[in-house]
């Protein structure tokens, strides 16, 4: 049986591995690190990479925090305990080339006591231009990981991602989804805590191979200024979701988290264009039409 300290140590190692892999995939930029402490308990390592050949800006953050749970969070979680521990790795990468997708991953562990604890996280892709073959590759990789642990995980967590990464006020998904899960425990997963920990680590260890392949496929594609403008518009939708709906952002703000680390998920530039409508038949319209729930991406659409 693991301890919370062992989980935090494993997540720190995953942060190191991912940062090294992203530096290799980019080819020029390196991460800058800032160590921080949280008033109330704990701290973390914020790592930012920017102005690279591939990555315009990205963050790979680790945190392990503890202290008193705010009343608002206690109510939301439906718990009475006050002392909490939370650790995790959170990643958001905003690429330079519009043909390379935005990617997000989060793995986390939360504990109030030995009876009240759970794992959460997920990984999802937000292409500026949806390339069906890339979407199929991405979802097949996630399904293979899930199937190593529980055969119903992919379908269950894929639907959860479709529902979670939905911009209600736009009636569109943030991207092509992926998998999302929260409050996983033995009684709702049919896995032990040790197996859930292994599942969490498997996602972290597969992040670089998956994203490096998508970078390799698309980083040398040429693009126009109009396509760059579309990228900025798609980024604005990403911002809207994170600031309005994202539970991790809300949790960080309500538990006195470090604001720079919380908002590292935002891109360096995003544009809002009044009532923008893609041109009929354009690649932009094709992408817009695929921003919906329930698409079977594992089926080869390429």
DSSP 269-282: -----TT--PPTTS
In total, how many domains does the chain have? Answer: 1
* 248 compared with 18, residue with greater pLDDT: 18
Within a domain: 298 = no
Q: Which of helix, strand or coil describes residue 177?
A: strand
In the block, which residue shows the tokens 């736009």? 170
43 CB burial (10 A radius; 0-12, 13-18, 19+): middle
Rounded distance between C-alpha atoms, residue 163 and residue 156, angstroms = 11
Length of the chain: 302
Residue 301 banded pLDDT, cuts 50, 70, 90: low
Per the structure, the complete domain to which residue 48 belongs is given by: 4-289
Any domain includes 135: yes
Residue 232 domain flag:
yes
Residue 294 within any structural domain of the chain: no
Share of the chain above pLDDT 70, in %: 97
User: Which residue numbers are catalytic?
Assistant: 104
Closest by CA position to 55, among listed 82, 29, 17, 85: 29
- The answer to whether position 144 is within a domain reads yes
| pLDDT in the model for residue 257 | 72
Asked if the structure places residue 64 within a domain, the reply is yes
Asked whether residue 302 is assigned to any structural domain, the reply reads: no
| Confidence at residue 111, expressed as pLDDT on a 0 to 100 scale | 92
Residue of 240, 279, 18 whose CA lies nearest to 126: 240
| Residue-wise pLDDT tens digits, 43-83 | 999 999 999 999 999 999 999 999 887 777 777 677 766 78
The answer to whether residue 299 is domain-embedded is no
The CATH number given to whatever domain includes residue 84 is 3.40.1500.10
């Amino acid at each position: 049986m693991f301890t919370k300290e062992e989980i935090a140590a494993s997540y720190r190692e995953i942060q190191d591995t991912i940062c090294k892999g992203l530096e290799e995939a980019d080819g020029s930029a390196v991460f800058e690190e800032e160590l921080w402490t949280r008033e109330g308990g704990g701290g973390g390592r914020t790592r930012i990479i920017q102005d690279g050949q591939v990555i315009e800006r990205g963050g790979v953050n680790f945190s392990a925090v503890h202290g008193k749970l705010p009343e608002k969070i206690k109510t939301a979680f439906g718990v009475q305990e006050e002392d909490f521990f939370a650790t995790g790795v959170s990643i958001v990468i905003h690429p330079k080339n519009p043909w390379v997708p935005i990617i997000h991953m989060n793995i986390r562990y939360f504990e109030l006591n030995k009876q009240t604890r759970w794992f959460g996280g997920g990984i999802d892709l937000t292409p500026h231009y949806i390339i069906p073959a890339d979407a199929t590759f991405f979802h097949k990789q996630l399904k293979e990981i899930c199937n190593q642990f529980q055969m119903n995980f992919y379908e269950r967590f894929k639907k959860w991602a479709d529902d979670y990464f939905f911009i209600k006020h736009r009636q569109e998904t943030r991207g092509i989804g992926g998998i999302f899960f929260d409050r996983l425990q033995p009684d709702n997963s049919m896995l032990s805590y040790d197996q859930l920990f292994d599942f969490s680590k498997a996602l972290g260890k597969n992040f670089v191979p998956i994203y490096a392949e998508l970078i390799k496929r698309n980083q040398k594609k040429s693009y126009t200024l109009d396509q760059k403008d579309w990228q900025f518009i798609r980024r604005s939708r990403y911002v809207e979701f994170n600031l309005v709906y994202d539970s991790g952002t809300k949790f960080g703000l309500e538990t006195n988290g470090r604001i720079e680390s919380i908002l590292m998920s935002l891109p360096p530039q995003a544009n809002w264009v009044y009532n923008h409508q893609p041109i009929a038949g354009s690649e932009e319209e094709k992408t817009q039409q695929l921003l919906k729930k329930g698409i079977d991406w594992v089926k080869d659409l390429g």
